[in-house]
C-alpha cells in the first residue's frame, strides 16, 4: 500500500466514502490513460452536488451553471495532476469552491438572486409543516419570502463563513473535509461555523422558534 493510499484513508473516515473514493480513482486512472469518455461518468455522478455548492454560494442559477461547467473543465484539464492523495470528490470540490470564490471576489458588487424552485418532497415536508400552518397561496408566498430571506442572510455572510456553513449544513461535509477543501484547520472551520450560525439566528429570528 503506497503512501497516498494511507493518506487518503486517514482523511476519508467512513467506509462508504472510502469505497466511493476507490471507485472514483479507478475512473480517474482510465481518464489519465486516455479514455476521455470515462470522465462523463464523473460528471454525471457529481454534477448535482457541485452545482448545489456553487448555487448556494452564489444564489444565482446561471452563474452556478457556468461555474459548475468551468469547474469540471478545470478538473478535466488537470486530471493528470491528480495522484490520489485525497479523494476525487474532495479534489473536485476544492476546484469548484476556488472557482466560485474567485468569481465572487471579482463580482463582489454585482450580486442578484436567481433562485431555483423549492421542491417539496418527503425530506423537507416535515420542516415546511413546522414552519407554517398556512394553506394555498398564502403558503407559497410565505415560502418564497422565507427562501429570499434565507438567501439574503447567507449573502450577508463573508465568503469563508458562507462557504463553511454551506458545505457543512447543506452539503453534509465533515469538518475535516471542509478543512481540506478550504485549506484551513478544523478549528478554523468550527469557529467559522459557530459564528455563521449565530449570525443567521440573528437574521432569521422571525422564522425561528425555540
Closest to other proteins by CB, 12 or 196? 196
Q: Does 38 bind other proteins (CB under 8 A)?
A: no
Residue from the set 1, 33, 81, 110 that interacts with other proteins by CB under 8 A? 81
Q: How far apart are CA 137 and CA 208, in angstroms?
A: 22
Q: Does 127 bind other proteins (CB under 8 A)?
A: yes
Residue from the set 35, 76, 140, 187 that interacts with other proteins by CB under 8 A? 76
Residue from the set 2, 14, 33, 130 that interacts with other proteins by CB under 8 A? 130
Q: Residue 186 corresponds to which cell in the numbers above?
A: 478544523
Q: How many residues bind other proteins (CB under 8 A)?
A: 48
Output DSSP code: residue 11.
H
Nearest to 56 by CA among 124, 147, 131: 147
Closest to other proteins by CB, 14 or 77? 77
* Cα angle value 124/193/159 (rounded, 5°): 95
Closest to other proteins by CB, 165 or 181? 165
Q: How far apart are CA 62 and CA 55, in angstroms?
A: 9
Kindly report the number of other CB atoms within 10 A of residue 146's CB atom: 17
Hey, is 60 helix, strand or coil?
strand
Shortest distance, position 171 Cβ to other proteins, whole Å = 8
Hey, is 59 helix, strand or coil?
coil
CA-CA distances (angstroms) from residue 99 to 64, 74, 75, 107? 11, 9, 11, 12
Using the rule CB under 8 A, give the single segment among 10-18, 19-27, 55-63, 98-106 that binds other proteins: 55-63
Is-contact 104 58, C-beta < 8 A? Answer: yes
Shortest distance, position 23 Cβ to other proteins, whole Å = 21
Nearest to 151 by CA among 68, 52, 58, 63: 58
x-or-dash pattern for other proteins, window 156-185, by CB under 8 A? ---------x---xx---------------
Q: Does 41 bind other proteins (CB under 8 A)?
A: no
- Which residue ranges make up the site for other proteins (CB under 8 A)? 36, 39, 43, 47-48, 51-52, 55-56, 61, 65, 68-70, 72-73, 76-77, 80-81, 115-121, 123-124, 127-128, 130-131, 133, 146-147, 150, 165, 169-170, 197, 200-201, 204, 207-210
Amino acid at each position: 500500500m503506497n503512501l497516498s493510499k494511507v493518506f487518503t484513508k486517514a482523511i476519508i473516515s467512513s467506509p462508504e466514502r472510502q469505497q466511493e473514493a476507490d471507485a472514483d480513482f479507478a475512473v480517474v486512472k482510465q481518464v489519465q490513460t486516455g479514455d476521455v469518455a470515462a470522465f462523463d461518468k464523473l460528471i454525471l455522478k457529481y454534477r448535482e452536488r457541485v452545482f448545489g455548492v456553487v448555487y448556494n454560494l452564489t444564489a444565482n442559477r446561471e452563474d452556478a451553471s457556468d461555474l459548475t461547467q468551468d469547474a469540471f473543465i478545470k478538473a478535466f484539464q488537470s486530471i493528470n495532476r491528480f495522484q490520489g492523495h485525497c479523494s476525487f470528490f474532495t479534489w473536485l470540490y476544492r476546484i469548484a469552491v476556488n472557482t466560485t470564490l474567485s468569481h465572487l471576489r471579482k463580482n463582489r458588487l454585482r450580486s442578484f438572486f436567481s433562485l431555483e424552485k423549492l421542491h417539496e418532497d418527503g425530506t423537507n415536508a416535515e420542516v415546511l409543516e413546522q414552519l407554517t400552518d398556512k394553506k394555498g397561496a398564502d403558503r407559497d408566498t410565505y415560502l418564497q419570502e422565507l427562501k429570499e430571506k434565507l438567501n439574503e442572510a447567507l449573502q450577508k455572510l463573508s465568503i469563508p463563513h458562507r462557504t463553511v456553513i454551506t458545505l457543512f449544513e447543506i452539503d453534509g461535509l465533515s469538518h475535516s473535509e471542509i478543512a481540506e477543501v478550504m485549506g484551513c484547520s478544523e478549528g478554523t472551520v468550527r469557529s467559522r461555523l459557530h459564528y455563521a450560525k449565530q449570525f443567521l439566528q440573528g437574521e432569521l429570528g422571525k422564522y425561528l422558534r425555540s
